[in-house]
Amino acid sequence: MSSQEVLNSASTLASYNVMLQVMFRVLTFLLNAFTLRFVSKELIGVVNVRLTLLYSTLVFLSREAFRRACLSGVSGSKHSWRQVINLLWLTLPLGVLWAALLVCVWLWLLEIPNVHTIPHYGPAVVLFALSGVQELLAEPLWVLAQAHMLVRLKVVAESLAMIAKCCVTVVLVVFAGEWGLYIFSAAHLVYTGLLVLCYVVYFARFLGSKEAADRRFPLRSVSDLLPSRAEGEPLVDWSLARLTWSFFKQSFLKQILTEGERYVMTFLSVLSFGDQGVYDIVNNLGSMVARFVFLPIEESFYIFFAKVLERGRDVESQKQEEVSIAAEVLECLLKLVLVIGLIITVFGYAYSHLALDVYGGTLLSSGTGPSLLRCYSCYVLLLAVNGVTECFVFAAMSQRELDQYNLVMLALSVSFLVLSYMLTWWAGSVGFILANCLNMGLRICHSLLYIHRYFYSSQWKPLRGLLPSPFLLLALAVSAVSTAMSEAVFCCDSGWFLRLLHVAVGAVCLLGVIVAILLTETRLVQFVRTQLLPRYRQKHS
């Protein structure tokens, strides 16, 4: 597959992932708005912070390193898919070990919620861990699908699973509200179970079909999906296993950075369960764009960079055509996420209070809710830049550099935990976001230095993508001042008419920013049209 074909496939994957994440976020958004009317914020805090942390920790530590190593390793021809499949099946016993350890911690070392206000905590912990182990059954199939760009499979599987989860939650909340945590445990088991079922059914029909033959798919039958030893070769590729170990050490630290505030809340009890619930709802609102736009782009273009670039080799030692494409894509991606992040920061400040009041009423719009969302709007900008820079860095680093970066991640993890505790003691829940901003800034600096050194002796300067046009910056500055004044005059204790005027001011300002982008960022617009809009690309291919 040529580098241009890889780029087209990665772009299609990113586009479908964005649409998928949009649907997920909208469904979750509506589901949270619905459940807020039926359950307490304490229950939401336990589910969305403590139990979700258990699940995410289990699956992340069990599979993240395998995903990165295998997707990177299979980009060349020297690795056997039989050995890759065998390596991926190790995620299952590893997940069982993590499940046993984490269940013990969650049941015996952490504070147990009040049984009268939050019933069935113990069984819920076990069921959430079981759902994580259940999801790992599909891991070899997921990697196969990602490596061969079977983008529709992921979209269909995760869409069906998410819709089923929402339906189960709504039905049980309305008709069996006394079940408490059993409601969310059952819904999560349905989600992971249906996800695995979709992958299994797809590959059972796909393997041996004409489509598989046309794609030159490396596996022929369902039995090839099971672990087995090929004659004349080791059970696993040990070079790939060592790379997995490097990523594993890194993933452990990255998990602390990603979910650090939840670990601090869970293990240090700096906030009550009710405050945790409010923080999590605001956090989910603030991270919607980061999750349904930036994360899919990061995941998809990591695959692109890993396939196009040879890991651990400098620019001069690689194919210059492929390096040129990688540099151009990196520059456009940096410009894209920077522009989106700046728009969110500017408009998020002036519309945080209104958004929370419409979404959850005074439960969210009073107290620290608006301040949390405003801070998160600034944090999204850092998230956007960090996602793209790190996806390139992790695809280009050698194994030795990855091992060295683990020390950087360790220092960042320790500093983040310390900062989270200190800033939370000083500024309440806002301190979590401030600590995230500081650490994200340090991670960005490290990645930018690596990219600068990587392209220093070449003609390509992809970091120019972080320099938006002056006219666009002027449009954003005018929008920031105009919307802030509009909020002071029209929002938010006034009637609906004045609130609509506030929204109208924002709409006019946003239109002006979009016009500025179309006039001054023509290269970015062309990249989005040709690489991130599947229908447009298919029409002009």
448-473: per-residue pLDDT in tens? 999 998 888 888 888 888 888 999 99
Q: Name the band, by pLDDT with cuts 50, 70 and 90, for residue 322.
A: confident
Least confident of 1-10, 46-55, 115-124, 319-328: 1-10
* 9 belongs to a structural domain: no
Give the C-alpha separation, 276 to 429, whole Å. 8
Domain match, 212 and 280 both: no
Q: What is the pLDDT of residue 216?
A: 77
Residues 252, 298 within the same domain: no
User: Does residue 134 share a domain with residue 48?
Assistant: yes
| 8 Å CB contact between 347 and 513 | no
Q: Tell me if 31 is assigned to some domain.
A: no
Question: Does any domain span residue 131?
Answer: yes
Say how far apart CA 416 and CA 95 lie, in whole Å.
26
Rg (CA), the chain: 24
Model pLDDT for residues 528-537, shown as the tens digit of each residue? 888 766 534 4
Arithmetic mean of pLDDT, 296-319: 79
Same domain? 101 vs 245: yes
Q: For the chain, how many structural domains are there in total?
A: 2
Q: Please count the other Cβ atoms lying within 10 Å of the Cβ belonging to residue 524.
A: 23
Shared-domain flag, residues 253 and 334: no
Looking at the fold, whether 332 and 467 belong to one and the same domain comes out as yes
Looking at the structure, tell me whether residues 244 and 288 fall in a common domain.
no
More reliable by pLDDT, 21 or 417: 417
Tell me, yes or no, if the pTM score tops 0.95: no
What the block records as the tokens of 243 is 């790379």
Is there a domain that residue 17 lies in? no
Q: Which range among 408-412, 484-488, 492-496 shows the weakest confidence by mean pLDDT? A: 492-496
Q: Tell whether 80 is covered by a domain.
A: yes
What pLDDT score was predicted for residue 73?
58
Q: Is residue 13 part of a domain?
A: no
DSSP state of 113: P
Write down the pLDDT at residue 247.
83
Q: Are residues 394 and 412 located together in one domain of the fold?
A: yes
Please report which confidence band the pLDDT of residue 435 belongs to, taking 50, 70 and 90 as the band edges. Answer: confident
Q: Please check the confidence at residue 49 and state whether its pLDDT lies above 60.
A: yes
Instruction: Specify whether 365 is located in the same domain as 250.
Output: no
For 76-92, what is each residue's pLDDT tens digit? 545 678 888 888 999 99
**pLDDT surpasses 70 at 43:** yes
Judge contact between 181 and 119, C-beta under 8 A: yes
Same domain, yes or no: 387 and 501 = yes
Q: Which residues contact 290 (CB under 8 A, 6 or more apart)?
A: 380, 383, 384, 387
| 363 or 178, which is more confident | 178
Q: Which residue has the higher pLDDT, 347 or 492?
A: 347
pLDDT at 156: 84
Residues 278 and 251 in one domain: no
Domain co-membership, 189 together with 295: no
Query: Residue 51 sits in which domain range?
Result: 39-221+234-258
What is the pLDDT averaged over residues 518-524?
A: 91
User: Is residue 361 in some structural domain?
Assistant: yes
Average pLDDT over residues 343-361: 86
Q: What per-residue confidence (pLDDT) applies to 24?
A: 66
Q: Is 349 among the domain residues?
A: yes
